[in-house]
Amino acid sequence: MYYRALNKHTNKWFYGGIYPDGSFFGFANPRIDENTKCQFTTKKDLKGIDIYTNDIVKVKVEEGLFVKDFIGIIEFFEGTFYIKKEDKPFGQSRTPLFSKSHNIEIIGNIFQNENLLKPVVSE
């Protein structure tokens, strides 16, 4: 598994991971903010950029003749990666990341771009 976390001093991403035996590589650094650790989903966005948990994404969902855009946050919940929609009731708030009907673009992350989390829905 691969992870990233922000450097406390530079606010830039630092990358590392976990070996199969459970030991970490790349994270034995006191400059890393453990609260910003994000897991790689193994999926890439429309531009070929790796998608991690806590990324803020713009999603285009095609439903027949209609296209809906929404903003969401990548999260890991009960063994699956989801896009959490901020503007929906709890039961409708998660869409599986691996659904083939989505076009996903990373627009930021919750640590550096919190301003992007305003609910945005267009139809």
pLDDT per residue over 44-57, tens digit each? Answer: 999 999 999 999 99
Rounded (to 5) percent helix, strand, coil in the chain? 10, 55, 40
Q: Write down the domain spans for the chain.
A: 1-36, 41-122
* Sole residue written with tokens 């910003």: 36
Cα–Cα distance measured from residue 90 to residue 84, given in angstroms and rounded to the nearest whole number = 9
pLDDT at 61 over 90: no
Tokens standing for residue 110: 């919750």
State residue 121's pLDDT score.
Answer: 43
What is the topology classification, in CATH, of domain 41-122?
SH3 type barrels. (2.30.30)
Higher pLDDT, 121 or 77: 77
State residue 95's pLDDT score.
Answer: 84
